[in-house]
Every structure is written in structure tokens, then in C-alpha cells.
A and B are shown apart, each in its own frame.
Chain A
Amino acid sequence: MKLTRSAAAIGAAVVLAGAAAAGCGSGGSSSSAGSSAPAKLTVWRMGPSVGSQVTWMNGVVAQFHKQYPQFKTTKVVVDWIPWANRITDWTNALTSGKGGPDITELGNTDTPGIAGQGALANITSEVKAWPQGSSIIAGNLANDTVGGANYAVPWFGGVRGIWYRKDQFAKAGITSPPTTWAQLTSDAKLLMAKYPGTYGLGAPSNFTNGIVSFIWGAGGQVAVQKNGKWVAELNTQASEAGIRFYAGLLLTQHVSPAKYVGQTELGAPGATSGGSDEDFAKGTLDMYIDGPWAQSSLEAVSTKYKSQWASFPIPSQNGPNPAPAFAGGSDLGVWAKSPNQTAAWDLVRVMDSPANATTFANLQGFFPEFTSALSGGKYSGSPVMAGFAKAAAYTQISPLNSKNWATADATDAIIPTMMKSLMQGASFTATVNKANTELQNVLNTGSES
């Protein structure tokens, strides 16, 4: 490679200038590794490349260069990681020590596990020094906290609620969405009577993140920490009420069809069509539990009833407040082995500023994670988003952020297996007790026995 002498001289001058400028430092970072302008920052985004998100990112990078002139020459590269491959890519980057990013997006349920394996940088002091940090929804920030230290910041999220159709409610004479379980089932039956051939409320068995709202909505807990150990509480009276209600949607109330047993809200996981989401879009299911992010997949199935779609929060057992909902979404973390952690954190601050986070979340039907952005009726104009925005104020994360939750839910599928057995007619107490014991063991030790 031939460099003319003048080109080499210019190159050296730029590097020196950059180093000098960056020497001024930025925002008291204690874990800084490399305060000179890095040549590039790599950001791992989850999912397929989407045009609108690429545009958004370009705008953010421009802001980044302006707000942090010491990083003006730093190129920002976005790698799109297919969702299905993320664990492999993280693991490989972790084990080989190279090829990792500077910033990575993570599904918020992935964060505790990945942080626990030492992949993310400890950014506790950075978050404390961040002015907007105090406005982050507490429950979601707690999700990214392991052993008292922050390893990521929430970026966008959403909660599940119940999708319904305004025209159906009107025709069935339902004037306002239900706020108690009793109202929920009676409304479902009204809809089924008015629209024969449909089912009232979809209740798939493989739907932990939806089922927990019913456990919490009865005042129960999935598991709590006592003296540093997890105690599973699926078999308390309140929790059992929630479990019984959900299973009863199929078994006793008959508002949910048998074919959803063994399925997630999207049908059989890992592939395919056929699930409560499709049925809702096609009009054979009247109410569907999912989050606002389902909009695009619903539209992909059918847009016939799109103008009538609306949402309301999942009711609690006796109202008037909604049941707490698990807030799913994405976080942003700095890679522990990145040599550019200062610059990376600064970029995160720009990507996750309340303004940017809001515009980004709006692209996908999610919500930003700042209480300041959620309050004040900002979403009341959209029938779909209004219900979810209301639900987004009542969130709970624990125990889904525990170190072993991924093992308990994704790997061992304790709650889905329990619900499936119950819906197939197994004995209630025995099944719930068994799941409870397994859950407690896994949360504490990582294995079922």
C-alpha cells in the first residue's frame, strides 16, 4: 500500500489533533478505556435492517458528532444482527474476545443473563451522572441492574394490553372497556353471542408474559426474594386465583379455543402461521392479548379491520387499576471488552435521549422509557396507543429479570408447561405445586431439582 508522504503527514496530523482534542475528556467516566477519538464505533442492532430506522440512526449520528466534537471523526457503523442469531453472536464475541461491538442493543429479558456473563460494562456511575437518568421508569432500570450495578439502560419498551375492535364493542353494547375480570369474561361472552363463530378472548398456554399479568392482577406474585433467596409463590391463594382464571378462559368460560393450547400468542413458536394474532386480524378472535408492537404483524395478515383496532389495559381482578404488565422492550449496553467505552457511552446518551428515544419508539409502536415522555396525555390521540400508554404506567419486571429467569422460562418453560397441563385437564393443585417447586429450584440454582 503506497501512501504518499504528504498523505501520511496529513493522516498523522489528524490523529494527533483528534487525540489532543479528546484529551479534554467527557463527563467523568471512571471506566474509560481510550479517551482519544476512536476510528469507528460499532453498534449492534437487533433485527432486519429497516429503512426508517436507518434514517433515524443517521440523524442521531449527526447529532452525536455535533454534541461531542471530539468524536467528530468517529465513524458509526451499524451491524444488523438477526434476532435468531443474537445469542450465538454474543457468545462468540465473548469467548473469542474479538469481533464484539462497542454498543449493543439487547432484548430486555436478555440483559440480566448477558450482564451476568460479564459481557456488558458497568455503567452505574455514568447513569448516575446522566441528567435524564432519573426520569427512567424505575422498574425497567431495575431490570438492567445486577448485584446493585447498572449494566444497560432501557431504550424502548411496551407492555401488553388487550387489543379489541371498536365496532364490535359498539355493536355488542359495550360502552367502555372492562376493568375487572368479571367484566372481561362477560364482555367476551357478549361478543361471542353477537358474533357467532368467533372466540371472545385468546388465551394461549405458552404465554408467560401475558399470564403473569393475571397472577399480578390478583395480587399474587410469581416469586419474591427473601433473605437473598428466591421463594416461588405460584401456589399462594392470590396467584392461584390468577392461574385458575386464565386456564378457566378455556376450561370453564369457553371464551378461548382449545387450539391455542401449546401455542404462543403468535401461534406455534419458531415458525408458522395460525395463532391468536392471525385470528384477531382475520376477525375470528374478538380480543387479543399482546403489545402495541403487534401492529405490523397484524397488518401483514390482514388490514380489513385495521381502522377499528383499539386497546385497553389488562384488567386486574377487582379493578379499578389495570393489572401490572411485564414491560418488554430493548436496552442499550456498552460492551465490556470495547476499547472505546467513553465514546460508546456518549453515543448511547444521544441515542437514548428522551427526544430521540421517543421518535425511535414511535417508529415501531413502542414507548420510550422515560416517565416524562409517557405522561401528559401525549398518546391519547391514537385509539391503539392510548390503552397501551395507560398500561405502560403499571409495570412490573421482577422476577423476570432474575439471573436464572431465562432458564426458568425460555429453557425449562415452567409456566408454559404448567398452563398447558392445566388446560389439558391435569389436576390443579398438584400441577401448580410441581411448577412452584421447579421454579424455586431453578431461580435459586439454575436447575429444576
Chain B
Amino acid sequence: MADTAVQQLPVARSSSRVGAFVRRYRLAPYLLLVPALAGIALVYLWPLAQMVLYSFQNFGLPQLTGAAPVQWVGLANFSTTFADPEFWIALRITVFFAAVAVPLTLVSGTVVGLLLNRLGRRMSVFVSAAVLLAWATPPVSASVLFYWLFNPDGGLVDWTLSKMPNWLVGSTDWAGFNWTTTGALQAYTVLTVLVVWQSFPFIAVTTLAALKTVPAELYEAARIDGANAWRLFWRITYPLLKPIFLVLLLLSVIWDFNVFTQTYLLTGGLANRNEFNLSLYLYDKAFTFPPSYGLGGALALIFTLILLIITVGYVRASVRQGALS
């Protein structure tokens, strides 16, 4: 197990003056971070500051081009959002979707990662290539593919379901069943399959990478003691991989909250308002023409806050985990 006390990286006996300066003021970590931080500040933090500013203003295209003055509107953008029933519906849909998609993604990704760890070479190349293809398929193409599979007309799923025997949930009612426009539940079922299909590879590859860092001797010792696969997983693998799982959980929640392209294409663009999730709602309210960047900023802030509240427990745990090493 890794050492639990944090220590400085052992320094070599370098006598350069810069080296001495760095050591004296303990600048090493800052130097290592500065390039990444610079990039993140430019691409995230600076636009974020602007976005926060806009959210208190009536910022739209005329303001952007200078054709009209920027006006301070205070909390108006926020209160408009909270008063909109569509916002709450979209929020509910988003939360339910994430609650289903995230566990499915994590479990399937972990299972495949474990599997990949144990397969022989040729098999593992085959499976990992398949998995990678699912990940690499452009989201637009993937969405359309799944739409076709679930198409009421000539789609494979409806066709198969209508031909299956009754005891297996089949019936001719399935022919022509419109998955994506009938209602949110049906559409998001398809979306869940699609998102899990596209997201589990990342989990699998990361899990595999993490598994590779677990010393083989631990497994050997446990197996000699007669442990079966299940116990091996829970007693050895899971505790060692918990930090990574926590990160993956956080990332999955964040991404599944934000999923846009697939939702847009599967629910028919902006036409089916009762099927909006939060990112479609945001796009619809703020970024369709003519855009309203002030409202967009406010919505984005609300969105982020909601995510933060939902994940605060996990964030704390994850950071604390880091403090241990």
C-alpha cells in the first residue's frame, strides 16, 4: 500500500541557483501546476467570469455588437427560471435519467474492465477494439443509429418485439411503436441504452488501467488462501480501486447531466418540449436565435449549483481520499 504520509519528493544534489531558489520557497508544486493552470484559466475561468457577469445583465446580440447598451437586471434571469414549470420538469427528467444511466454505465464498464484484465491476448484485443469503436463513434452518428434501431418504421427493435412470443413481452402492438415521441420515459429508455453504450468504454479502459497497477502477488496470495472471484473483487480489487471509482462516479454524473447531442437528436430536436433535459432546456431558452446570453449564464450557474449540491458528498470524499496519499 502506498505510504500515507506526504513527503517531499526526494531532491537530488543539484547546485544550480534556480534549483536552490525553487527548493527554498517550495515552488516545485506550483511550477508543475502553472502550465495546466494557465490553460484552464484561459479556457474556463476567464469565460466563466464573463458568464457570471452576463447572468446579472440582459446580455444579448445587440449588447454583444454594441448596438444596444448593457443593462443590469439583477436576479431577474434567475427568478424567471425558477418560476418556469418547464425548468422543474426538465430537472426531474435529468435527475432520473442520471440515476439510472450512471450506475448502469459504471457497473457495465467495471465488469468489462475486469474481463479485459483476465482475457488472453487475442481475445482482449478483440473485445477492447469493439469497446473502443463504441466510444469513438461520433455522437451524431451513434444517435442516428440508435434512432433507426428504435424507429417505428422498419426499425429492428420494434420489428423484433412484434415477432416475439407473448410471454416474452412480445405482441404486435410493438409494431410502429414510437419510442422517441410518445413520451419522456420511452425516449429516455432509448437514450439510456445509447449513453451507456457510448460511455461504458471509458470506464472499462480506466478500470483496466487501474487494475494493471494492482500487484499480482496480492491476488496470488488470496487465491492460495482459497478466495473465489467475488471475494477477490470485494476484498482486494475494490478497496484499491475505490479512489478511481469515486472519480469515475463523479465524472459520470457530471457528463450524464450534461448530455446534449444525443438527447437533441433522439427526442426530435426542440420539438418535444415535454422531453427536455436540463441541457436542452438551457439551449432552448438561451441559445436559440436570437440568443440571450444573460439568461444562459444564469441557467448555467443554476445548473452547476445543482450538480454541486448533488455531488457534494462524493466530492468531499474524493478530495479527502487524495489527502491521504
Decide if A and B touch, CB cutoff 8 A: yes
B148 neighbours in A (Cβ, 8 Å): 272-273
Q: Quick one: which of A424-449 are within 8 Å of B by CB?
A: 447, 449
Say yes or no: B291 contacts A91, CB within 8 Å: yes
In the bound complex, how far is the Cα of B182 from the Cα of A94, in angstroms? 39
In the bound complex, how far is the Cα of B181 from the Cα of A257, in angstroms? 14
B274 CB to closest chain A CB (Å) equals 8
User: B180 at interface (Cβ–Cβ under 8 A)?
Assistant: yes
User: A185 at interface (Cβ–Cβ under 8 A)?
Assistant: no
Binds B, one of A261-269, A311-319, A394-402: A261-269
A412 neighbours in B (Cβ, 8 Å): 273
If A263-B268, A411-B284, A413-B273 touch, whether A91 touches B153 (CB-CB below 8 Å) is no
User: B165 at interface (Cβ–Cβ under 8 A)?
Assistant: no
Say yes or no: B268 contacts A269, CB within 8 Å: yes
A411 neighbours in B (Cβ, 8 Å): 270, 284, 288
User: B171 at interface (Cβ–Cβ under 8 A)?
Assistant: no
Give the nearest-CB partner of A417 in chain B. B273
B125 CB to closest chain A CB (Å) equals 33
B266 neighbours in A (Cβ, 8 Å): 271
Say yes or no: A270 contacts B264, CB within 8 Å: yes
Say yes or no: B151 contacts A97, CB within 8 Å: no
Say yes or no: A259 contacts B268, CB within 8 Å: no
Say yes or no: A416 contacts B181, CB within 8 Å: no
Say yes or no: A271 contacts B182, CB within 8 Å: no
Say yes or no: B65 contacts A410, CB within 8 Å: no
In the bound complex, how far is the Cα of B84 from the Cα of A208, in angstroms? 25
Binds B, one of A13-21, A27-35, A47-55, A111-119: A111-119
A410 neighbours in B (Cβ, 8 Å): 270, 288-289
Say yes or no: A261 contacts B290, CB within 8 Å: no
Say yes or no: A262 contacts B268, CB within 8 Å: yes
Give the nearest-CB partner of B83 in chain A. A449
A270 neighbours in B (Cβ, 8 Å): 264-265, 268-269
Q: Which of A87, A268, A406, A407 contacts B181 (CB 8 A)?
A: A268
**Most chain B Cβ neighbours within 10 Å, of A118, A271, A272, A411:** A271
Say yes or no: A262 contacts B181, CB within 8 Å: yes
In the bound complex, how far is the Cα of B147 from the Cα of A263, in angstroms? 13
A26 CB to closest chain B CB (Å) equals 29
In the bound complex, how far is the Cα of B152 from the Cα of A279, in angstroms? 12
Say yes or no: B67 contacts A262, CB within 8 Å: no
B151 neighbours in A (Cβ, 8 Å): 272-274
User: B243 at interface (Cβ–Cβ under 8 A)?
Assistant: no
Say yes or no: B176 contacts A206, CB within 8 Å: no
Return the CB mask of A232-265 against B: 1 if under 8 Å, else 0.
0000000000000000000000000111011110
If A87-B289, A263-B181, A273-B153 touch, whether A97 touches B65 (CB-CB below 8 Å) is yes
Chain A interface category by residue count: 35 or more
Give the nearest-CB partner of B265 in chain A. A271
B287 CB to closest chain A CB (Å) equals 9
User: A95 at interface (Cβ–Cβ under 8 A)?
Assistant: yes
A149 CB to closest chain B CB (Å) equals 16
User: B38 at interface (Cβ–Cβ under 8 A)?
Assistant: no
In the bound complex, how far is the Cα of B238 from the Cα of A23, in angstroms? 81
If A118-B67, A272-B144 touch, whether A264 touches B290 (CB-CB below 8 Å) is no
Return the CB mask of B273-316 against A: 1 if under 8 Å, else 0.
10000000000100011110000000000000000000000000
User: B271 at interface (Cβ–Cβ under 8 A)?
Assistant: yes
User: B61 at interface (Cβ–Cβ under 8 A)?
Assistant: yes
User: B239 at interface (Cβ–Cβ under 8 A)?
Assistant: no
Say yes or no: B288 contacts A117, CB within 8 Å: no
In the bound complex, how far is the Cα of B67 from the Cα of A407, in angstroms? 21
Give the nearest-CB partner of B60 in chain A. A117
Say yes or no: B180 contacts A268, CB within 8 Å: yes
User: B272 at interface (Cβ–Cβ under 8 A)?
Assistant: yes
Q: Top 3 nearest A-B pairs by Cβ distance?
A: A262-B181, A270-B269, A274-B153
Instruction: Name 30 interchain pairs, CB-CB below 8 A, sorted by A.
Output: A94-B65, A116-B290, A117-B61, A117-B62, A206-B271, A258-B176, A259-B178, A261-B181, A262-B181, A262-B268, A263-B181, A264-B271, A268-B180, A269-B271, A270-B264, A270-B265, A271-B143, A271-B265, A273-B154, A274-B153, A406-B289, A407-B288, A407-B290, A411-B284, A411-B288, A412-B273, A413-B270, A413-B271, A413-B273, A416-B271
The residues of A with any CB-CB pair to B shorter than 8 Å are: 87, 91, 94-95, 97, 110, 113-114, 116-118, 206, 257-259, 261-264, 268-274, 278-279, 406-407, 410-413, 416-417, 420, 447, 449
Q: A270-B264, A449-B83 given; name 20 further pairs at CB < 8 Å.
A: A91-B289, A95-B65, A259-B178, A261-B181, A262-B180, A262-B181, A270-B265, A271-B266, A272-B144, A272-B151, A273-B153, A273-B154, A406-B288, A406-B289, A407-B290, A410-B289, A412-B273, A413-B270, A413-B273, A420-B272
